[in-house]
Structure 1
Amino acid sequence: MHKLLLFIIFVAEVSCLDIAKAKGNLSENIRIESKILNYPLQYRVYTPAGMKQSDKLPTIYVTDGQWYLDPGKMLSVLDREITNGTIAPVIAVFVDNRNPDNLEQNRRNEQFFCNEKYVDFYKKELLPTIDASYPTANTRESRVIQGVSFGGLNAACFGLMAHEVFAGISMHSPANSKYLKDMRARYQKAEKLPIKIFLSFGKKRDNSVEGRKFRDLLISKGYQLDFKESKFGHEWKNWRPLLDDSLQWFFPPSP
């Protein structure tokens, strides 16, 4: 009996270690030739540990994906939150905004400002490709788009222009004050959209005045909103600690 108890404890400890060490898989860069944009893009895909082809998993699309992949940022958060059971397993698509043939050419300024072609690229090319290649749930309710700074502004654009395919809009410090004011006016004019929103700003040089006005407008229109403020500014000291908050907001574990 004593030996059996020790064996059970040993198996449990080994299982706990396996869970603690569980890491998802990150693909190499995958190239996609966009006919809509008339140029190539690249992206990398995170898949959670233990994923099965029979799964139907939610998906988060991350613009400026190469920044979110820097060491100590989103990958470790995904692994930790999934392992701890604080979020459901999720597939993450990290979309690189740079020219894959010349990484010094950054296209975010032409892509992120409510560019209809960029939105159509997601709707008609990227989403169908991901849904055909991975065990996604393939519903608007299961998809989130996330970005930081101008990428956050892009997420707001997707809320207006692509809510039929994205139900989750995650915005970390959408910038800048001029564009935020314009975005607030667009949301004020539009009917309430069927989207769930995460919005964050820093309190130090991070467009917080216009950010709070945008927050107040979204609340007044009855949006399902999680709003966070950090003591830091327009930097990763602000955004990194909020990654788990946004993931938990959109991907709660199954009851």
Structure 2
Amino acid sequence: MKCRVLVLAAWAAIACPVAFTAAQPGAAKAEKFPDPPKDYDKKRDGVARGTLETVEYDSATVGIKRKARVYTPPGYGKDQKYPVLYLLHGIGGDENEWARGGAPDVILDNLYADKKAVPMLVVLPNGRASKDLTARDPIPKQSPAFAAFEKDLLTDLIPFVEKTYPVKADRESRAIAGLSMGGGQALNFGLGNLDTFAWVGGFSSAPNTRRPADLIRDHADAAKKLRLLYVACGDKDGLFRISEGVHKMLDENKVPHEYRVVPGGGHDFRVWRSDLYHFAQLVFRGPAAENKGTDK
């Protein structure tokens, strides 16, 4: 209990050094997601590259122009339409965090070179919907801005992306995923808006994640609408119990999902880069039955 209090008080610092071992539920299925190959997140010679650019959009929610970064895949052109992944950062980051530590453009470029992923746009927003708050502000002060990003995302950013880029504008062409605080946002916003998102991923989701009992309004409806629900965390992450709790709720309510426990994984980009590697290969593919996993 003491450890849980420490996590809630300062979870951004991962202050609770608890080791969770192979006895954790779902650990036996970790081989479904083997470690990525060597140098999967390093630039290769002779590989076609996508483009990562910074854009600004008008946010009626916040009342200012806000920044986001957008990755377009190799061979991008306006003569075809693409699905979109909205990829969210952690509590200490902004629209640049994934690019600084996660190499999303490199990981995707390499996956495309190996013909392992569907070409997609990736939007990296600032999940702090505020005029002046930054990662340096106290966490309690930032919390309302993280919650307010749901409205900014749905009413400002997504319409901007769909007006500006040649993308498909249906729920089955939208995915949302994120790390830590962004993982909590992805589960909250994705599962709370299944008419907008069909593909949802929470990587090491943090305590901003809604209680498992509050994440899904109608479990049968969610099971029908979700094309993929990916829940993952390292087994040595001090926030492991959050993902474990979500997994247990999904199992109990028969909501198909992929549950990944990363052996030896902490709360860091080593885990999150590998999550993106696996998640990017699963989204926007085939009929629903091919993408739904269960942990029974």
**TM-score under structure 2 normalisation?**
0.69
- Give the structure 2 partner of residue 90 of structure 1: 120
Is the CA contact 1:146–1:171 (under 8 Å) kept in the aligned structure 2? yes
The amino acid of 2:145's aligned partner reads Q
Rg larger in structure:
1
- Percent identity, please: 23
Count of matched residue pairs: 230
- Give the structure 2 partner of residue 111 of structure 1: 145
Q: Distance in 1 between matches of 2:75 and 2:216?
A: 43
Q: SS at the partner of 1:21?
A: coil
- Name whichever of 92-101 and 142-151 sits farther off: 92-101
State how 1:1-255 maps to structure 2 within 5 Å. Answer: 20-27=46-53, 29-64=54-89, 65-70=95-100, 73-97=103-127, 109-112=143-146, 115=147, 117-176=148-207, 179-180=208-209, 182-187=210-215, 190-192=218-220, 193=222, 194-195=225-226, 196-230=228-262, 231-252=264-285
Is the CA contact 1:226–1:249 (under 8 Å) kept in the aligned structure 2? no
Q: Distance in 2 between matches of 1:54 and 1:186?
A: 42
Is the CA contact 1:85–1:253 (under 8 Å) kept in the aligned structure 2? no
The alpha carbon displacement at 1:97 in A equals: 3.6
Q: SS at the partner of 1:70?
A: helix
Q: 1:203 to 1:133 in 2, by over 3 A?
A: same
Q: 1:121 to 1:20 in 2, by over 3 A?
A: same
| Structure with greater proportional helix content | 1
Is the CA contact 2:62–2:131 (under 8 Å) kept in the aligned structure 1? no
The amino acid of 2:212's aligned partner reads R
Q: 1:174 to 1:82 in 2, by over 3 A?
A: same
- Give the structure 1 partner of residue 6 of structure 2: none
Q: Distance in 1 between matches of 2:243 and 2:74?
A: 37
Q: Distance in 1 between matches of 2:114 and 2:240?
A: 32
Q: C-alpha root-mean-square deviation of aligned residues, in Å? A: 2.7
Q: Distance in 2 between matches of 1:79 and 1:119?
A: 29
- Give the structure 2 partner of residue 15 of structure 1: none
Q: Distance in 1 between matches of 2:280 and 2:170?
A: 18
Which structure's relative contact order is higher, taking Cα pairs within 8 Å and 6+ residues apart?
2
Is the CA contact 2:102–2:269 (under 8 Å) kept in the aligned structure 1? no
The amino acid of 2:190's aligned partner reads G
The amino acid of 1:33's aligned partner reads D
Q: 1:225 to 1:108 in 2, by over 3 A?
A: farther
| Structure with greater proportional strand content | 1
Q: Distance in 1 between matches of 2:215 and 2:133?
A: 36
Q: SS at the partner of 2:257?
A: strand
Q: 1:45 to 1:190 in 2, by over 3 A?
A: same
- Name whichever of 215-224 and 61-70 sits farther off: 215-224
The amino acid of 1:109's aligned partner reads S
**TM-score under structure 1 normalisation?**
0.80
Is the CA contact 1:172–1:201 (under 8 Å) kept in the aligned structure 2? yes
Q: SS at the partner of 1:75?
A: helix
Is the CA contact 1:43–1:96 (under 8 Å) kept in the aligned structure 2? yes
Q: Distance in 1 between matches of 2:71 and 2:157?
A: 15
- Give the structure 2 partner of residue 8 of structure 1: none
The alpha carbon displacement at 1:213 in A equals: 2.5
Q: SS at the partner of 2:96?
A: helix
Q: Distance in 2 between matches of 1:201 and 1:174?
A: 8
Q: Distance in 2 between matches of 1:59 and 1:132?
A: 13
